[in-house]
Structure 1
Amino acid sequence: MASTIQALPTEVVYLITAGEVIDSFASVVRELVENSLDAGATRIVVYLWPQQWRVHVTDNGCGMNLEDLQQAATAHSTSKIRSSDDLWKINSLGFRGEALHSLTTLAEVEILSRPLGKSGWRVVYGNGGKAMQVEATAIAPGTVVAVANLFGNCSSRRQGLPTTAQQMKAVQATIHQIALCHPQVTWQVWQNDRQWFTICPAGTTGQLLPQILNQVRQGDLQEVKLELSHPPNSLLNLVIGLPDRCHRHRPDWVRVAINRRMVNSPEIEQAILSAFHRTLPRDRYPICILHLAISPEQINWNRNPAKTEIYLNEISYWQEQITQVIDQALRISPTNIKESVHTTRVSKLLKAAETKGGYNFNPQNFNEDHKTFNSLKAVAQVSNTYIVVEHPGGMWLVEQHIAHERVLYEQLCDEWQLVPIEPPTILYQLSPAQVSQLQRIGLDIEPFGEQLWAVRTLPAMLQQRDDCAEAILELSWGGDLQTAQVAVACRSAIRNGTPMNLQEMQTLLDNWQRTRNPRTCPHGRPIYLSLEESALARFFRRNWVIGKSHGI
């Protein structure tokens, strides 16, 4: 019997490879702009004509000489690696040598390029990447790649693609992701000869993000950079949306980048989500962009053609480091106490105050002794609900109940203490599910008669309360241990409407400052409102010239 296994023809192999690398407009743009970035470009312009199946990418990178241009599109030709050992030392975005060759298999490709101080050349490539036409050309230093008739020889591929609008949305998302990893680059994108969008360069990813996520302001973000000694020369850059100011309905802005490329890393993404647990409202997700710059030996990029999935060494170590950095970024400390003002909330508050004619609060025992510096200093109580707080950058309003709730919740998380009670608390007509729930969170409960149950232990915080029975019933209605801890903290916290003296307020502030996640309560509500001194100065027109304000 004749063998049915045969080697594939070269042109079939090339088509298979091309289908893995180039499958959409977004993949064309991604591969070409990554080449531009590898060439050191600081300005990249993308032109798209989707109905004509054309893409042009222009950059001001280092350019290519004639010899490199003639080899650029041949199969597996690259300047990035030389041997198998180099696969463990990859510092570039591209390294496979497949993208340009795949494009010549699926489209008409020409490249114009000129290194600084040398002549420019134009090369037209045939199927398979061979240089078919070569001529000198006038061009500014840099490179222009022109792709036409994309998927022209694969009509079924064109029919299988999403709508034009969906493809352009994917292109925009691709450029946004790459821009966040290279904030110093200027981007300009045109569609059908009209300017579509631009991205101006920024010093950091956090400074660039508001251009991409329009509803986020600079003051809503916290950016942290941390140099790590292990692995050597590692850098962790973290941009988070402060949980009391911004969050999302979906986890679509939990992004992970490694060595200037966005990647899919479910393990790291889960560590990020876990670090924000009980800091956001229910069914809301954080804004977080994590960028790791680590030694190439720690990464295996050779996992799939798009290079979005990787093998990362010591994943548990990175999860631990990321959790610690996020915890630190969410705390209140002298280094991050002076923040941008909550623009929207403050403007509404000031307008309301101006309309009603004043803030109308009575200071209690204002302490004028500034010899002992305290970063947060209790000044007064408003409506027996809000604590007026002075700090070096202005003032805050802190809601006393949810601030205390955050303190108690973290104490309960650290030490969930159940204590015996005598006599036991008697509950009537509990369902089997309620009994099971109380047993699940550790309470000692047993039958005490017909439809009666005796609870012999309960959380220590509830021991002295008059409403123990109601509190235990609340715990019986379901949820895990953390849900129970939130319920106990909420019930035990200082109620709004409770008068507090200055010392009680200061003790609460001191305890609250030391919590791990002081910006929001366990339900995700913001605990404090910041009124910076500069905002107060604008409201009271302190920048006016006195003479002019008198009409002189």
Structure 2
Amino acid sequence: MSIETLPAEVIDLIAAGEVIDSLLAVVRELVENALDAKATRVSVSLYPELWQVQVADNGRGMSLEDLKICASPHSTSKIRNSKDLWHITSLGFRGEALHSISQVADLAIYSRLKGRLDAVGWKVDYQQGTAITEEAIAIAPGTIVTASNIFGQLPVRRRGLPAPSRQLKAVQRLIQHLALCHPEITWQVKQNDRVWFHLSSGNNAQQVLPQFLRKVSSSDLQYLRLIEQQTTINHQPEYIHQPATIELILGLPDRLHRYKADWIKVAVNGRVVHCPELEQVIIAGMARTLPRDRYPVAFLHLHLDPSGIDWNRHPAKAEIYLHSLEYWQERVSDAIAQALKLNNSSVPQTFGDRRIQQVLKAAEATGNYEFGSSSPDQKSTNEIGSLELKAIAQVNKTYIVAEHSYGMWLIEQHIAHERILYEQLQDEWQIIPLDTPIVLNNLQKSQIEQLQQIGIDIEPFGEGLWTVRNAPEALATREDCQDALLELSWGGDLQTAQVATACRTAIRNGTELNLKTMQNILDRWQNTRNPRTCPHGRPIYLSLEETTLSRFFRRHWVIGKSHGI
């Protein structure tokens, strides 16, 4: 067969297949155009059985001249020349979306310019990238795009797509991701003319995420925003055009975690992307703060100079090349460490603690007041003053009672001390000689290899006997050193050995402490890197703020009633 040039209609269908390969792709391209048009409200209507999608927005709209060419091949308002491809500032930018949709569906676009009182609404119908009809219509400022009979000319493509339920789930996930990246947007999604779900706008993603992640409140999340000046990235001044911003929403490890790593999301400049290198940084940064086999909830959004990103990697723009990746890995790791610290701004609102909520809810049922947290915009009282904990008592020889300016905390002494010792062992893990060697018996081969792996010198000492001549410094002088070595021999890496050592050497519950010792534990614990949980992932403290106590004892209304007010 000889080589021949393909007809234009075949070329268009091939190009459309690269961009529009599912209902999800239709929704993605249309809603991204709506966001680029500076919309604050976006409505998505899905009719999966009819193969129809409609997206309406209140963005800036289009004139009739733009409507006539917006679905023509390679027509876009986002870029003008080849240099613009390396400085992408919009979500849609290739000029392929509307044209590609018109190749696989019937396309109707309604639009009216915003901000012009004399602007008239127009409707233009497209078929295969060509405008066939136009008419004036009554419409509010903004744009409505309806794609119907999707893949009607490609029945094989329809049959090859997943079941409608799976496609709808993918659409839902897309809207959720965009809502996190653009919290200022209000979303309404309908399915067959019935409201499927609704997402309200917020100041940041901390107020959006709880709307679709079950049993999560905004107080279970820590929000951190850091501004990077980008003055030392690989010593490359050509990439320095504007400051970068790191936004991090992190589920507090003592409150929130998941069985799967399905809510570790990374976004760059308004779009969630697949970036395993940064996802691993998040997982590593939360290591030994969560229970075993649990994963964090995290949303990382990098706002970077466009010249530091290459979007031209995948048609769906889900994968990117990120310049100075190692630098951003380091900065994200620092941001996670800062978010996990206990300080004025990182302590969440008291009412976020579900254990306290349950008590207050029970009291509310018989009282004449309504329980509720303050508005998302209102700062908690902890964010006003300094967080200085003062030990005042011990409960059941287990819990340290500490007060501060706005309430009190209960701290479990053993796991707080365990966190202190674990981080000390991480920083200074030393193996020292034993004054008297210890003899172990009946060790398996795997146990011997495990002890050697963590730096223990072990030698045969007879049939079924082995002698150990050194041990971790924290265990060397303990009476139970032999039992501790046996425990360390049962597997795990060096980190596991450090956790086991910290747990064994920490103050036991049931030990009576004086105020000086308790205060010393509090001071050292507050300065740890991850003070919220022990190395096993258990919460260390319970917060009882003054506002919580006041509501529970109804001080805000009982006093008034007693005085006849």
TM class by shorter-chain length? over 0.9
Does the 8 A contact of 1:385 with 1:399 survive in 2? yes
Tell me the distance in 2 between the aligned counterparts of 1:395 and 1:493.
24
- Structure 2 partner of 1:451: 464
Q: Given residue 86 of structure 1, which amino acid in structure 2 is its aligned partner?
A: D
What SS class does the counterpart of residue 543 from structure 1 fall into?
A: helix
- Structure 2 partner of 1:345: 355
Asked if 1:147 is matched to 2:147, the reply is: yes
- Structure 1 partner of 2:126: 125
Tell me the distance in 2 between the aligned counterparts of 1:385 and 1:341.
25
Asked if 1:196 is matched to 2:196, the reply is: yes
Paired residues for 1:108-119 under 5 Å? 108-116=106-114, 117=116, 118-119=119-120
Structure 1 residue 336 displacement after superposition: 2.5
- Structure 1 partner of 2:47: 49
Paired residues for 1:400-479 under 5 Å? 400-479=413-492
What SS class does the counterpart of residue 341 from structure 1 fall into?
A: helix
Structure 1 residue 464 displacement after superposition: 2.1
Paired residues for 1:16-415 under 5 Å? 16-116=14-114, 117=116, 118-127=119-128, 129-230=129-230, 231=240, 232-337=242-347, 339-348=349-358, 375-415=388-428
Structure 1 residue 67 displacement after superposition: 1.3
Structure 1 residue 329 displacement after superposition: 0.6
Structure 1 residue 342 displacement after superposition: 4.1
Does the 8 A contact of 2:389 with 2:404 survive in 1? yes
Does the 8 A contact of 1:341 with 1:531 survive in 2? no
Structure 1 residue 4 displacement after superposition: 4.0
- Structure 2 partner of 1:480: 493
Q: Bigger shift: 265-274 or 334-343?
A: 334-343
Structure 1 residue 547 displacement after superposition: 6.2
Q: Bigger shift: 4-13 or 466-475?
A: 4-13
Structure 1 residue 352 displacement after superposition: 9.7
Structure 1 residue 135 displacement after superposition: 1.4
Structure 1 residue 159 displacement after superposition: 1.2
Q: For residues 467-495 of structure 1, what are the alpha-carbon distances to aligned partners after superposition, in whole Å with 9 as ceiling and x for unaligned?
A: 11110000001111001111101111111
Tell me the distance in 1 between the aligned counterparts of 2:480 and 2:140.
79
Tell me the distance in 2 between the aligned counterparts of 1:518 and 1:45.
43
Tell me the distance in 1 between the aligned counterparts of 2:560 and 2:101.
71
Does the 8 A contact of 2:434 with 2:471 survive in 1? yes
Tell me the distance in 1 between the aligned counterparts of 2:309 and 2:362.
55
Q: For residues 197-237 of structure 1, what are the alpha-carbon distances to aligned partners after superposition, in whole Å with 9 as ceiling and x for unaligned?
A: 11111111111111121311111111011110115411111
What SS class does the counterpart of residue 272 from structure 2 fall into?
A: strand
Structure 1 residue 11 displacement after superposition: 2.1
Identity %: 58
What SS class does the counterpart of residue 251 from structure 1 fall into?
A: coil
Structure 1 residue 391 displacement after superposition: 1.8
Tell me the distance in 1 between the aligned counterparts of 2:108 and 2:46.
16
Asked if 1:543 is matched to 2:556, the reply is: yes
Tell me the distance in 2 between the aligned counterparts of 1:171 and 1:342.
30
What SS class does the counterpart of residue 222 from structure 2 fall into?
A: strand
Does the 8 A contact of 1:389 with 1:397 survive in 2? yes
Does the 8 A contact of 1:257 with 1:291 survive in 2? yes
Unaligned 5+ residue runs, structure 2?
Answer: 231-239, 365-385
Asked if 1:515 is matched to 2:528, the reply is: yes
- How many residues are matched? 531
Tell me the distance in 2 between the aligned counterparts of 1:392 and 1:23.
58
| CA RMSD between the two structures | 1.8
Q: Cα distance 1:194–1:152, how it changes in 2: closer, same or farther (>3 A)?
A: same
Tell me the distance in 2 between the aligned counterparts of 1:82 and 1:546.
69
Q: Given residue 39 of structure 1, which amino acid in structure 2 is its aligned partner?
A: A
Tell me the distance in 2 between the aligned counterparts of 1:448 and 1:152.
80
Q: Given residue 149 of structure 2, which amino acid in structure 1 is its aligned partner?
A: N
Structure 1 residue 190 displacement after superposition: 1.1
Does the 8 A contact of 1:342 with 1:531 survive in 2? no
Q: Cα distance 1:138–1:353, how it changes in 2: closer, same or farther (>3 A)?
A: closer
Structure 1 residue 39 displacement after superposition: 0.6
Unaligned 5+ residue runs, structure 1?
Answer: 355-372
Does the 8 A contact of 1:342 with 1:530 survive in 2? no
Q: Cα distance 1:328–1:274, how it changes in 2: closer, same or farther (>3 A)?
A: same
- Structure 2 partner of 1:370: none
Q: Given residue 224 of structure 1, which amino acid in structure 2 is its aligned partner?
A: L
What SS class does the counterpart of residue 411 from structure 1 fall into?
A: helix
TM-score after normalising by structure 2: 0.91
Tell me the distance in 1 between the aligned counterparts of 2:466 and 2:390.
47
TM-score after normalising by structure 1: 0.93
Q: Given residue 179 of structure 2, which amino acid in structure 1 is its aligned partner?
A: A
Q: Cα distance 1:459–1:32, how it changes in 2: closer, same or farther (>3 A)?
A: same
Q: Given residue 46 of structure 2, which amino acid in structure 1 is its aligned partner?
A: L
Does the 8 A contact of 1:341 with 1:530 survive in 2? no
Q: For residues 152-193 of structure 1, what are the alpha-carbon distances to aligned partners after superposition, in whole Å with 9 as ceiling and x for unaligned?
A: 011111111222222111111111111111111111111111
Does the 8 A contact of 2:107 with 2:147 survive in 1? yes
